[in-house]
């Protein structure tokens, strides 16, 4: 059985300011750095062998903190990037026009072909996220990887493992530096392949990130 840990990056300045990030970037806040340290302490004895992060700065910073504590190298994987939010990237969430809010809501309300202008569809996101996860199957026997990615991206991945459509209504909350785990296994009582062991665990964190408190 292969166990894969999934971690959302720590709180960023734009998370706290309610600014849309997508594939644009914002540095971790001091709280975000501390959250990453708390993740590292939580998993340090789990035998993590690989720390693999999206190539965006906020995930690389989170992953490096974890990798240093776990004593393994950190490498980047562009397929783990967040959903591209097109023309809404770098915009203040509270200052969108009515039309722009419709575009944004299509990413979370179950619209089959939703896409922000110049952005990415949830189906495209799901395909690259599953591809990144499946590549873990090529790691040496006995590996236990930890992937650091993003809220919408990880939510989409976990939802599709559960059998939902990539564009299904978003009902899985993954807070900053939450930990999820998916396993690839064979079981008499579960479907073969990837299964969800845990999702969105924040028991290791002192308090929720500001962006979640505001929602």
* Residues classed as catalytic: 9, 82
Distance in angstroms (rounded) separating the CA atoms of residues 34 and 172 = 24
Helix-strand-coil split of the chain, %, nearest 5:
40, 20, 45
What number of helices (H) and strands (E) belong to the chain?
7, 6
The alpha carbon dihedral of 12, 174, 98, 126 has a sign of: positive
| Residue set of the binding site for substrate | 8-15, 21-22, 58, 60, 82-85, 151-152
Q: Which residues are annotated as a binding site?
A: 8-15, 21-22, 58, 60, 82-85, 151-152
CA gyration radius, the chain: 17
């Amino acid at each position: 059985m292969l166990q894969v840990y999934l971690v959302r990056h720590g709180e960023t300045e734009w998370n706290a300011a309610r600014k849309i990030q997508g594939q644009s970037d914002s540095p971790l806040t001091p709280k975000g750095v501390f959250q990453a340290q708390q993740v590292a302490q939580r998993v340090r004895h789990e035998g993590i062998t690989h720390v693999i992060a999206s190539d965006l700065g906020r995930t690389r910073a989170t992953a490096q903190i974890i990798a240093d504590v776990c004593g393994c190298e950190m490498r980047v994987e562009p397929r783990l990037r967040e959903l591209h939010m097109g023309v809404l990237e770098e915009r203040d969430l509270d200052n969108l026009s009515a039309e722009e809010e419709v575009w944004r809501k299509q990413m979370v309300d179950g619209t089959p072909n939703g896409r922000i202008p110049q952005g990415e569809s949830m189906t495209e996101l799901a395909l690259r996220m599953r591809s990144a996860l499946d590549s873990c199957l090529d790691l040496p026997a006995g590996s236990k990887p930890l992937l650091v990615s993003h809220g919408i991206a990880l939510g989409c991945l976990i939802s599709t493992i559960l059998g939902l459509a990539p564009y299904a209504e978003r009902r899985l909350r993954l807070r900053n530096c939450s930990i999820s785990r998916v396993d690839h296994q064979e079981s008499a009582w579960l479907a073969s392949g990837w299964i969800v062991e845990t999702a969105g665990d924040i028991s290791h964190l002192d308090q929720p990130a500001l962006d979640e408190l505001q929602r």
